[in-house]
Chain A
């Protein structure tokens, strides 16, 4: 049973526009969320995170929004650049439970067209 779901397998946007990547989770015990980016033949790279005590975290062009009541988070990339083309993974953790385990979604392929 997928506890972290990325229901859209792919997204294509034009350079300069906003990219919005969505993620849903089912386990209400998750209290820390992350986004990773992965290029082909490389391991995932940490991008941005958010604790459940916040509803927004921003880092440059990347903003993560958390809606706890809906068990939904999203990653906004503004403006999108061709170098952002990669597979993006949403991940969740039970930080307060002391677990070091991350639960990942299946990933979503973002293509930013010049």
Chain B
């Protein structure tokens, strides 16, 4: 069990560019979550997958954001036409069942300049 792996750890991009993050959950976990954390705030829910199905999405997930989990394994989060307000830590978590005791990854820190 290597935990939840997120890549890259850090990403600096220019405003207007597209970025994609990857999350590899714990292998036997069928639930996968994306959260965003800005400075001084707690994590905010973005979206949730059960296997390959995206079952819940936050209103924070604007049209510029898209998440996928093909084949119910790893997941990607893409942000198109990045804005400075997208600068945040993007956290992925996974869980084997619905007990909320997620295992979080270390996150991807995005800086939009």
Chain A contact residues, CB within 8 Å of chain B: 4, 32, 34, 36, 41-46, 49, 89, 91, 93, 95, 99-107
Q: Which of B31-55 contact A (CB under 8 A)?
A: 31, 33, 40-45, 48, 55
Chain B residues closer than 8 Å to A107, beta-carbon distance: 41-42
In the complex the two chains form, what is the Cα distance from A95 to B101 in whole Å? 12
The contact of B102 among A41, A46, A95, A103, by CB within 8 Å, is A46
Task: Considering the complex, give the chain B residue whose CB is closest to the CB of A98.
Answer: B98
A100 and B98 contact, CB distance less than 8 A: yes
Other A-B pairs beyond A43-B104, A102-B43, 15, CB < 8 Å: A4-B42, A43-B93, A45-B104, A46-B102, A89-B43, A91-B42, A100-B31, A100-B56, A100-B100, A102-B45, A102-B100, A103-B45, A106-B41, A106-B42, A107-B42
- Cβ proximity bits B78-113 to A, threshold 8 Å, 1 near / 0 not: 000000000000010100001111111111000000
B101 and A49 contact, CB distance less than 8 A: yes
B42 and A89 contact, CB distance less than 8 A: yes
User: Residues of B within 8 Å of A, CB-based: how many?
Assistant: 25
The contact of B100 among A41, A42, A49, A105, by CB within 8 Å, is A49
Chain A residues closer than 8 Å to B100, beta-carbon distance: 32, 34, 49, 91, 93, 95, 100, 102
In the complex the two chains form, what is the Cα distance from A42 to B103 in whole Å? 11
Does more than half of chain B's interface fall in helix, strand or loop, or is it mixed? loop
Chain B contact residues, CB within 8 Å of chain A: 4, 31, 33, 40-45, 48, 55-56, 58, 91, 93, 98-107
B104 and A101 contact, CB distance less than 8 A: no
The contact of B107 among A43, A46, A99, by CB within 8 Å, is A43
Task: Give the shortest distance, in Å, between A108 (CB) and chain B (any CB).
Answer: 10
Task: Considering the complex, give the chain A residue whose CB is closest to the CB of B98.
Answer: A100
A101 and B48 contact, CB distance less than 8 A: yes
Known A-B contacts A34-B101, A45-B104; the reply to A101 vs B42 at CB < 8 A is no
In the complex the two chains form, what is the Cα distance from A80 to B85 in whole Å? 38
Task: Give the shortest distance, in Å, between B69 (CB) and chain A (any CB).
Answer: 14
B31 and A46 contact, CB distance less than 8 A: no
Known A-B contacts A41-B106, A43-B93, A43-B106; the reply to A100 vs B101 at CB < 8 A is no
